[in-house]
Amino acid sequence: MTGPNLSPPPWFVSEQPHPLILASASPRRAELLNQVGIRFLQAPVEVDETWPKDLLPGEAVRSLARRKASVAATRHPGAVILAADTAVFLDSQPLGKPADATEAYEMLRRLSGRKHEVITGITIVDTISHLEISDSVLTEVWMREANDYEIAVYAKSSEPLDKAGAYGIQGMAAGFVTKICGCYSNVVGLPVSRVVAMLQLIVARRKE
């Protein structure tokens, strides 16, 4: 069966900006990009991740993503840089990655039976066209009221320790989540549809 003669979207080999550098060590972000066929090289950077003061949540995560993208751009001239930062907010206060199981338990106890927000800041920098695009995506997440035993067992697993808010919606913590409003992959760590749209802008600029 043959279809219409359409130009391939940017994540196909013939159109995707290359090389694309994922400036993150997150295996979840890498899995999401692989899921939709985006080719990339994973090259994490270390930056000062001190939470920006006096900024709204969306502005703060965009600021952190820009920090990462800026460092990566100096290391990979000629590449397109993708950087991101994800934070969980409860009552407008950020919840970072727990230091240990005790802190994970405390975070999850606070989230239990509540709605919270997951916001990811994204920055894409094309070091050739010098186009920089930054955005943030917000997803609302509701959790059921979980008992202390459930929370303690999950907190003692290895899953919460490298995740903002101390949970992974794609893992065992799915048993806590009752509803989301917004992009699911954003909660995992990268709003893929928004990233693809941003890459399309990079492609368009390179063709000008």
Active site residues: 85
Q: CB of 18 within 8 A of CB of 26? A: no
Give CA–CA dist 113/96, Å, rounded. Answer: 19
Residue 74 φ/ψ, nearest 5 degrees: -70, -25
Written as six digits, the tokens of 20 are 């694309």
Residue carrying the six token digits 């995740």 = 163
Answer yes or no: are the C-beta atoms of 201 and 126 closer than 8 Å.
no
The C-alpha R_g of the chain, in whole angstroms, comes to 18
Find the length of the chain. Answer: 208
